[in-house]
Amino acid sequence: MPAITTNDLKTGITLELDNGLFQVIEFQHVKPGKGGAFVRTKLRNVRTGNVFERTFNAGIRVEQAIIVREDMQYLYRDGDDLVFMNTETFEQLSVAPSLLGDAADYLVEGMTVQIGDHQGEIIGAEIPASVELKIAETEPGVQGDRVSGARKPATLETGKVVQVPLFVEIGDTIKVDTRTGEYMTRV
C-alpha cells in the first residue's frame, strides 16, 4: 500500500485505516494561530456506508487503498445474485446485491457499471448519475386532479418505487436521479 501524507488528501481517495476502508468525502486544512496545523475530514465507511468526521495532524502518513475499477456489463439476476461480465476479458462474476448498495435498484440488463475491487473483494459500484427506466406499475391519474406538484407512487421495471407526477402512466420511460432516487423527467 502506498503511504501518503494528510497534506495529499483529495476528495474521493480511499484510505485504509486501522479499522477498515474509508473514502474521503470532504477535507479541510486548518492552520490555527497557535499550535500545529491539522486536517479535518469527513469519511465514509466503504463497507457500511456510515459517515463520520475525523481529524488528523498535518503531515502524518496514512495508507491509501488501491481500488481497481473495471467496466462490467450487467447481464441478469441469478437467484439472489447479480451476474456481471467484464467487457474486456468476458469473464463473468456473481455479486450479492448488498455489496452494491443503492446501485442495485437501478440496474437493467445490458447496463455498463464500474465495479470497485480491493484485494479481491467487491466494495461497490458506480453507475451513471441518471438512468432511464420504464414504469411497470402505477395508479392512473384522476381526470381534473392536476394540482401542481401532486405525486403518486410508481414501481419501475427494476422493482424500485419512486414518486412521479400524476400524468406519468404505465409503460412510460422516465429519467431517475440515481443519487437521490427522485423522478427527473419523462423521456
Last residue of a domain, one of 64, 81, 101: 64
Mapped onto helix, strand or coil, the DSSP state of residue 53 is strand
CATH code, domain with 99: 2.40.50.140
Residue 55 and residue 33 in one domain: yes
- Predicted TM-score (pTM) of the model is 0.72
Residue-wise pLDDT for 152-176, tens only, equals 899 999 889 999 988 888 999 999 9
Neighbours of 28 (CB within 10 A): 11
Last residue of a domain, one of 49, 64, 79: 64
Average pLDDT of span 9-21: 87
- Grid cell locating 177: 436521479
Residue 74 and residue 96 in one domain: yes
Candidates 116, 128, 13; CA nearest to 71 is 116
- Beta carbons of 96 and 105 less than 8 angstroms apart: no
Residue-wise pLDDT for 111-140, tens only, equals 999 998 888 888 888 888 899 999 999 888
